[in-house]
Structure 1
Amino acid sequence: MTTFDPRALARATPLPTRAETPGAVLVALDGDPAGRPALEWAAAEAAVRGSALHVRRSVPSPLLAVSPWVWAHHSPWLWTYQPEVAEAALTAGRDELTAAVRAAHEVVPALDVFTDLVAGAAPASGLERDGAALVVVGRPRRSRRQPATVREALRPRRSRPRLPVVVVDLAVRGVDGPSVGRVVVALGARDDPAPVLETAYRAAARRGVGLTLLHAWGRGIVPDVVDEVLGPYQDVFPEVGVLARPVTSVARALAEESRGAALVVVAAPGRPTDVVGRIVSRRVVRAVACPVVLVPVEGARLRRTRAPRPR
């Protein structure tokens, strides 16, 4: 039986701490109705972290529209700049930001909220200047693709580190699963467990709930190996109770486990060439029935080993 031993990476990783990553919680809006639950979730998360909430509204650019005059005259230049369309889009963006501030204060009245309107840029651009610690977006119901903000925030950049991204979908889907109210963390066969586990433990400690670990390291991994990997995190977060079990398919297991869960934490693909990782992350986002955190994992891979045969 082939397994992936996570202990080598765990031993080489710095010890976890309870200190929060400094920075605001940034929620990206684009006029889609999915932005409202993302805004409310981000406001509550910012309050728990003790940080500010940054609300960003993006406006598409170039702001173009079909001119009736050129359409009537069959001109090849159908797309022309329309000042009134641009002004209407900017006005709609400002109105949504005003409503967003009111909605955030309904969730947390004393929350520090600041806003900006971005025209012609991705909502996740400029994060290195804004000092954001977390990016929150809503999952549009009409699209099967990951939101553009997710792809932008997770894209490798030399000028800034990649940030964790939370995709919020608060739809009610059937009955609760076995991890209702808990934080569920899923680790693939070759994911570096350190950043994912630290994010998951912090989230569970903030909420005062337990943690469910789903790992695809192989069924040949004995409980002592799991205990050795989780040991440093249990020392720092002793109040977090953990249930661990092996799985063969992370996406399939999360579809069952995430129903009613407080949060799901998974690894985001670390390399632009990791096509399989991107496909898996998209499947996970579509499968889960609660907010999911995509944690950037930089390149490290677990070593394949051969599990000892039982005597």
Structure 2
Amino acid sequence: MPKALPIVVGVDGSEPSLRAVDWAADEAAVRGLPLRLVYASLWERYEGTSLADDIGKPSEQVLAEDVVATAARRAHHRRPEVEISTDVLPEEPEYALVRESRSASALVTGTRGRSGLAEALLGSVSLTVAGHAQCPMVVVRGNHDNQARTATHGRVVVGVGEKPAGSAAVRFAFEEARRRGVPVEVVRAWRCPAHETTDHPLMSGEPARLHEQQAVESLEAALQDAPADVESHRRVVEGPTRAVLVDASRDADLLIVGAKRRPGHYGLQLGRVAHGVLHHSACPVVIVPEHP
């Protein structure tokens, strides 16, 4: 039997990364998966041959080893049943974590690293990795101390787009809800473009009803293969998708959205909706790659 792929966490000693460790330890316990804690930094670029006293290692490497050891103790204390491994990689963190995503069940980061100026804004590492990760990526946000909170709302929210059939994000949402024993709320936002409105009294409201009906049909298509053993709720909401999903996140334990991956395209592959919820969600966000 092949070895189970681990849940990988990018750690750097910051409070957001410690919350990510807590969240990932809980998730690893629920899934019965190993946990891998990774610190990545290209410290040679900044330190050259500078060594820590009495150790003979670059001081950044000493710090990194201390960070992953501390994170491992924290994860073990929280979830002693989880198998934990650590690694320190002398590489750019964006590159290292994207590579790690190729052999992970999920990749987890905090909102920002030690150099972040404001946690309300997503750090550049998490944002870059979210745009390239090959596995579901979780950005743990929603708290303002160094503790990950136990899920309390009892629901998972997933946003669906115009072409939801066969959505990896929807499948992930139902799998996650089954593990947690909670329902899935499937949300489809819709808007009526301003140029389609009319002042004719007999036609008033017709364009809006058409767009709403299309949203309902998209939502039904997303649920056509939904498992019967997981409770689901449908929500069709008028408004900008990012705003609708951010609002839904306030009463959710997890917000899940898809991100299209285009072969041969090397730019950030997130989309406006995923980018927006990563910055403003009130709960942890999962970006699920949608491959063609």
Whether TM-score is above 0.5 comes out as yes
In structure 2, the residue matched to 1:142 is 117
**Larger deviation: 241-250 or 261-270?**
241-250
Offset at residue 109 of structure 1 (A): 1.2
**Equivalent residues of 1:191, 1:297 under 8 A apart:** no
In structure 2, the residue matched to 1:243 is 234
In structure 2, the residue matched to 1:278 is 271
The verdict on how the C-alpha distance between 1:254 and 1:223 changes in structure 2, with shifts beyond 3 A counting, is closer
Among all aligned residue pairs of Structure 1 and Structure 2, give the percentage whose two residues are the same amino acid.
25
The verdict on how the C-alpha distance between 1:47 and 1:138 changes in structure 2, with shifts beyond 3 A counting, is same
Q: Which amino acid aligns with 1:296?
A: P
| Aligned equivalents of 1:94, 1:114: Cα separation in 2 | 12
Q: SS of the residue aligned with 1:234? A: coil
| Aligned equivalents of 1:251, 1:111: Cα separation in 2 | 35
| Aligned equivalents of 1:101, 1:41: Cα separation in 2 | 13
**Larger deviation: 83-92 or 94-103?**
83-92
Q: SS of the residue aligned with 2:214? A: coil
Q: Is 2:248 the partner of 1:257?
A: yes
Q: SS of the residue aligned with 1:199? A: helix
| Aligned equivalents of 1:126, 1:36: Cα separation in 2 | 21
What TM-score do the two structures reach when normalised by structure 1?
A: 0.71
The verdict on how the C-alpha distance between 1:193 and 1:259 changes in structure 2, with shifts beyond 3 A counting, is farther
Offset at residue 211 of structure 1 (A): 1.1
In structure 2, the residue matched to 1:109 is 80
The verdict on how the C-alpha distance between 1:125 and 1:213 changes in structure 2, with shifts beyond 3 A counting, is closer
Q: Which one has a larger percent strand, Structure 1 or Structure 2?
A: 1
Q: Is 2:66 the partner of 1:89?
A: no
**Equivalent residues of 2:38, 2:87 under 8 A apart:** yes
Aligned residues: 252
Q: Which amino acid aligns with 1:243?
A: R
Matches within 5 A, 1:164-183: 164-171=136-143, 180-183=153-156
Q: SS of the residue aligned with 1:244? A: strand
Offset at residue 255 of structure 1 (A): 2.0
Give a deviation string over 1:105-150, Cα, whole Å, max 9, x none. 1221111001111112334154277x31110000026353454255
Q: Which amino acid aligns with 2:34?
A: A
Offset at residue 222 of structure 1 (A): 7.0
Give a deviation string over 1:236-255, Cα, whole Å, max 9, x none. xx232323324431210122
Offset at residue 82 of structure 1 (A): 2.6
In structure 1, the residue matched to 2:31 is 49
Q: Which runs of 5+ in 1 are unaligned?
A: 1-20, 66-79, 157-161, 173-178, 300-311
Q: Which has the higher contact order (CA 8 A, sep 6+)?
A: 1
Offset at residue 199 of structure 1 (A): 0.4
Paired residue for 1:99, among 54, 63, 70? 70
**Equivalent residues of 2:4, 2:34 under 8 A apart:** no
Offset at residue 61 of structure 1 (A): 3.1
Give a deviation string over 1:267-292, Cα, whole Å, max 9, x none. 12423488795333221111211100
The verdict on how the C-alpha distance between 1:239 and 1:231 changes in structure 2, with shifts beyond 3 A counting, is same
In structure 2, the residue matched to 1:298 is 291
What TM-score do the two structures reach when normalised by structure 2?
A: 0.75
Q: SS of the residue aligned with 2:213? A: coil
Q: Is 2:9 the partner of 1:27?
A: yes
**Equivalent residues of 1:27, 1:137 under 8 A apart:** yes
**Equivalent residues of 1:184, 1:212 under 8 A apart:** yes
Q: Which runs of 5+ in 2 are unaligned?
A: 145-151, 191-210
CA-atom RMSD, angstroms?
3.0
